[in-house]
């Protein structure tokens, strides 16, 4: 008589990967003091949150929206224009919102001007499903947590999560910058730039 051991029934076998990285589009906002004249030559100074412009240049997917106060003086109008010109000098397209007609206008607090842009953010999986059996695994299928940490780390390291949705073409400023970097690389020169510890400037050099 042959004895047949009972076989383990794994039940429903899940073949897809539940730990995918996805993206969602969000609006990033900040407010800065209204640029004011601080020099005899008429130039203006304003402080921007450190890294806000760098974040835009890294993953911005819309023009930089400038939101002036609902009620503004002639000096405020000139200050907004100065900020708009400076952003344009940095290669950043801008859009000044009309408080009376723009649907996405958010009034800044008194004495400030609002900045906003649209960009993608990564939605990463949450790990910690230890319901699978780590010791007895006759099916040879991956553990319930398999792949979660790897995909989560990749999602957190993405420079521009929007590349998962739609990659941007290298054109305009990007293409020109790539050419400069390649030329330096071929000549054995340093291709990176060192971030200054403190940045200050005026209307054409707004501080970050």
Between 13 and 131, residue with greater pLDDT: 131
Confidence (pLDDT) at 185: 82
Would you call 73 helix, strand, or coil by DSSP? Answer: coil
> Using one digit for the tens of pLDDT, what is the confidence trace for 154-180?
999 998 999 888 877 665 555 656 777
178: closest CA among 163, 195, 191?
A: 191
Burial, 155: exposed, middle or buried (Cβ in 10 Å; 0-12, 13-18, 19+)?
buried
Question: Confidence band (pLDDT; 50, 70, 90) for 190?
Answer: confident
Confidence (pLDDT) at 27: 93
Question: Any idea what DSSP says for residue 201?
Answer: -
Would you call 155 helix, strand, or coil by DSSP? Answer: helix
> Using one digit for the tens of pLDDT, what is the confidence trace for 125-134?
988 877 777 7
> Using one digit for the tens of pLDDT, what is the confidence trace for 142-151?
778 888 889 9
Give the separation between CA 85 and CA 83, rounded to whole angstroms. 5
Between 119 and 86, residue with greater pLDDT: 119
Give the dihedral of Cα atoms 200, 203, 205, 208; nearest 10 deg.
50
115: closest CA among 56, 195, 170?
A: 56
pLDDT at 186 over 80: yes
Average of per-residue pLDDT across 169-197:
65
Confidence (pLDDT) at 2: 53
What are residue 26's DSSP bridge partners? 119
> Using one digit for the tens of pLDDT, what is the confidence trace for 90-104?
888 999 999 999 998
Largest CA distance in the chain: 106
Confidence (pLDDT) at 117: 95
> Are the beta carbons of 165 and 120 closer than 8 angstroms?
yes
114: closest CA among 28, 30, 47, 56?
A: 30
The average confidence (pLDDT) of the chain is 78
Between 7 and 148, residue with greater pLDDT: 148
pTM of the model: 0.67
Least confident of 4-13, 65-74, 76-85, 88-97: 4-13
């Amino acid at each position: 008589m042959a004895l047949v051991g009972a076989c383990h029934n794994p039940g429903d076998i899940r073949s897809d990967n539940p730990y995918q990285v996805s993206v969602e589009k969000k609006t990033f906002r900040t407010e800065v003091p209204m640029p004011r004249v601080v020099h005899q030559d008429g130039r203006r100074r304003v402080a921007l949150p450190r890294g806000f412009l760098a974040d835009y240049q890294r993953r911005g997917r819309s023009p930089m929206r400038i939101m002036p106060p609902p009620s503004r003086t002639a000096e405020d109008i000139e200050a907004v224009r100065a900020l708009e010109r400076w952003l344009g000098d940095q290669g950043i397209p801008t859009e000044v919102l009309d408080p009376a007609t723009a649907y996405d206008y958010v009034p800044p607090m008194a004495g400030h001007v609002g900045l906003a842009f649209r960009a993608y953010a990564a939605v990463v999986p949450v790990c910690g499903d230890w319901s699978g059996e780590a010791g007895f695994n006759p099916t040879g299928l991956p553990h319930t947590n398999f792949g979660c940490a790897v995909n989560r780390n990749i999602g957190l390291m993405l420079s521009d999560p929007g590349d998962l949705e739609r990659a941007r073409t290298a054109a305009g400023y990007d293409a020109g910058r790539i050419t400069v970097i390649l030329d330096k690389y071929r000549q054995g020169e340093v291709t990176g730039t060192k971030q200054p510890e403190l940045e200050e400037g005026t209307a054409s050099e707004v501080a970050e």
